[in-house]
């Protein structure tokens, strides 16, 4: 994208928002808005999550999020979950960009494919966030669906002694993340049905689509359902989905990172200082970093009754998989992959 074209497209966004001061904004986001936090996306060659777990003995890379595989082997997902659990990462600049619209009363909804809970970590109220693929926010039994305490599940991960089991039916416990083979939450469908109908009658609303490949349905169909009289703005490394296959005259496509354009748009709106303040950043060069959480020292809730000792063990494979998640958190995988190729 040329500098002139980029400047003009950002100008179109800013003009639309300024010309329509009561205009609400909707976000549809994916893993790309969290990569600067130290969380990998799924499909980027060499550094994506699937590319890196595929070197282990999995039948296919996506098996780590496949419900039938999880029933047979919990170790890969549990080890990965330990490294990706909420509290280990801080929201990105783009997350706080969304928060700005919420603070100004101009946020309609955030539809997210992400499971990292970073949208709510900024302070956006739950009623505005639809986690299409679930999240680490809650845990449940995959058999009876009974909820399982978050702190207890976190303790099971940290102690690394086994996998959690349901105290009622002894079924397996996992976060309420939608695995392949499971249906999306009813909340996703109910919310989108209402929002889609409301958009038909609204004469002003800007829809941002950011950091997503738009490859996983039904989420990938959301931009297609946006009425043609409303503008859509894609922030992504490349045009994808409906923006590529059925582009509209009113579409705005900004090719680059989500953080980059969050900063540029905020500057032109006159919101930059406020964005820096709420995000805790000093300047545009400051990057978000992953932080380790302290272990839960509480001994009030015994974990022995909900742990199956056969689930996780200190094998070489487990240690290697955990090492991968550590590298993922520090985004050091690209360098490591180059070493592997040379060998």
Active site residues: 133
Question: Is 150 among the annotated ligand-binding positions?
Answer: no
Rounded Cα gap, residues 262 and 259, in angstroms: 5
- Please return the burial class of 37, using the count of CB atoms within 10 Å of its CB with bins 0-12, 13-18 and 19+: buried
Question: Is 92 among the annotated ligand-binding positions?
Answer: no
Question: Is 106 among the annotated ligand-binding positions?
Answer: no
Q: Which structure tokens are listed for 160?
A: 């690394």
Question: Is 286 among the annotated ligand-binding positions?
Answer: no
What is the helix, strand, coil percentage profile of the chain, to 5?
Answer: 45, 15, 40
Question: Is 116 among the annotated ligand-binding positions?
Answer: yes
Question: Is 297 among the annotated ligand-binding positions?
Answer: no
Question: Is 43 among the annotated ligand-binding positions?
Answer: yes
Rounded Cα gap, residues 294 and 300, in angstroms: 17
Question: Is 141 among the annotated ligand-binding positions?
Answer: yes
Question: Is 79 among the annotated ligand-binding positions?
Answer: no
| Secondary structure (3-state) at 251 | coil
Q: Which structure tokens are listed for 275?
A: 């964005």
Question: Is 33 among the annotated ligand-binding positions?
Answer: yes
Rounded Cα gap, residues 98 and 15, in angstroms: 18
For CA atoms 333, 335, 340, 341, the dihedral sign is positive
Binding-site residue numbers are 31-35, 41-43, 113-116, 141, 144, 166, 169, 212-213, 236-238
Which residues are part of a known binding site for NAD(+)? 31-35, 41-43, 113-116, 212-213, 236-238
**Binding annotation for Zn(2+):** 141, 144, 166, 169
């Amino acid at each position: 994208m040329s500098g002139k074209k980029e400047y003009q497209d950002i100008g179109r966004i800013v003009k639309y928002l300024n010309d329509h001061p009561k205009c609400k904004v909707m976000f549809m986001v994916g893993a790309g808005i969290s990569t600067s936090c130290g969380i990998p996306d799924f499909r980027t060659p060499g550094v994506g999550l699937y590319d890196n777990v595929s070197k282990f003995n999995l039948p296919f890379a996506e098996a780590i999020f496949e419900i039938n595989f999880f029933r047979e082997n919990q170790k890969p997902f549990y080890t990965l979950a330990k490294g990706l659990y909420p509290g280990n990462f801080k929201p990105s600049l783009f997350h706080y960009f969304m928060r700005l619209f919420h603070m100004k009363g101009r946020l309609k909804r955030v539809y997210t494919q992400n499971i990292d809970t970073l949208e709510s970590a900024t302070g956006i109220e739950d009623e505005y966030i639809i986690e299409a693929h679930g999240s680490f926010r809650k845990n449940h039994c995959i058999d009876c669906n009974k909820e399982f305490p978050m702190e207890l599940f976190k303790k099971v991960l940290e102690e690394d002694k086994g996998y959690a089991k349901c105290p009622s039916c002894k079924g397996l416990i996992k976060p309420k993340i939608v695995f392949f083979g499971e249906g999306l939450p009813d909340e996703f469908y109910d919310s989108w049905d209402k929002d889609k109908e409301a958009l038909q009658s609204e004469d002003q609303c800007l829809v941002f689509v950011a950091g997503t490949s738009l490859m996983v349905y039904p989420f990938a169909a959301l931009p297609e359902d946006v009425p043609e009289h409303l503008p859509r703005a894609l922030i992504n490394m490349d045009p994808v989905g409906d923006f590529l296959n059925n582009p509209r005259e009113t579409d705005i496509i900004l090719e680059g990172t989500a953080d980059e354009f969050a900063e540029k748009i905020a500057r032109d709106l006159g919101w930059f200082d406020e964005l820096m303040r709420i995000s805790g950043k000093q300047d545009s060069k400051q990057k978000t970093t992953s932080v380790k959480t302290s272990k839960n020292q509480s001994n009030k809730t015994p974990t022995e009754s909900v742990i199956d000792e056969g689930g996780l063990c200190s094998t070489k494979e487990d240690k290697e998989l955990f090492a991968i998640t550590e590298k993922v958190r520090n985004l050091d995988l690209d360098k490591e992959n180059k070493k592997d190729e040379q060998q």
